[in-house]
Amino acid sequence: MAAITASMVKDLRERTGLGMMDCKKALVEADGDAELAIENLRKSSGMKAAKKAGRTAADGAIGSKVENGLGVMVEVNCETDFAAKDDNFKNFVQIVTDQIFAAKSADLQALNDAGMEKVREELVQKIGENVSIRRAAVLEGNITHYIHGTGKIGVMVILEGGDEELGKDIAMHIAAADPQPLYTHTSEVPADLIAKEREIYVAQAAESGKPAEIVEKMVEGRVRKFLAEISLVEQPFIKNPDMKIGALLKQAGATVVQFVRYQVGEGIEVEHVDFATEVASTMGQ
């Protein structure tokens, strides 16, 4: 029996796109012969799932579960909205959510190692689309959660003080706000992000030809506007734009301890290729 090294597993994983455990098992069964391992994987349809792994999964659904002060939210992706509505996909999202809730851990590698990768691959075979568990969050405390009707946006909020109605209002605001809040308070915004924005504003203001002192005021004004736009407590409440979220919380004697907002596919770049371009590419033109 040939010794199966980590580098052998890594190489097979890069060639097939399958998980480490599947690659190791295939190599063991093939006595270290990578070509034979690939052939066996193809016969077992494992490669079908691997090929689909190269396709962009930017649609999908948000799953969540909150019980007894423990909250879980996950984003599971597929390629199309059609697949996202499939019962098999919905069941998978629920299984993933339940497993993460039971483990009280957002460690996706541990989840896959516990057998979820095999379940995912079976789903890929069944629905014919790439599927990926993108991210997960686990919170503990006085949690309110909200999933938008389409299942594409989810929010969990931990409040200190206030009541369930306030928590729901805050969660719905976070889901609907545009721009979306990235931090609770302006003091939480990283210094390097502020510096980057200031650098951009300085370059823009310099082109105005105005005196340096005016340029400085313009820049500081834009920085303050930027911080207010991405900080939850500085945003106008969507149900009453005349009141800021901070004032709403103060009125109820409450504070936001933490929040998490997921939107399906955010940040994923999808390559759009028209049919003529795709045909020309295939023909080598």
pLDDT tens, residue by residue, 260-285: 999 998 887 665 544 455 444 444 54
> Residues 197, 200, 204, 210: is their CA dihedral positive or negative?
positive
Of 48-62, 164-178, 182-196, 217-231, give the lowest mean pLDDT range: 48-62
One DSSP character per residue, 249-278 reads HHHHT-EEEEEEEEETTTT-------HHHH
Pairing of strands 153-160, 143-147: antiparallel
Residues present in the chain in total? 285
> What backbone phi and psi angles, to 5 degrees, belong to 127?
-95, -10
Give pLDDT, residue 83: 92
Give pLDDT, residue 275: 42
Whether the model clears a pTM of 0.85, i.e. scores above it, the answer is no
Give pLDDT, residue 34: 87
What average pLDDT does the segment 99-111 reach? 96
Annotated domain spans of the chain: 6-52
Percent of the chain's residues with pLDDT above 70: 87
CATH superfamily name and code, 6-52: Ubiquitin-associated (UBA) domain (1.10.8.10)
The 10 Å CB-count burial string (b at 16+, else e) for 10-45 is eebbebbbbbbebbbbbbeebeeebeebbebbeeee
pLDDT at 56 over 70: no
CA pair distance 115, 118, nearest whole angstrom? 6
| pLDDT, tens digit (0-9, with 9 covering 90-100), for 211-264 | 888 888 899 999 999 999 999 999 999 999 999 999 999 999 999 999 999 999
Q: Which residue has the higher pLDDT, 103 or 148?
A: 103
CA pair distance 202, 267, nearest whole angstrom? 27
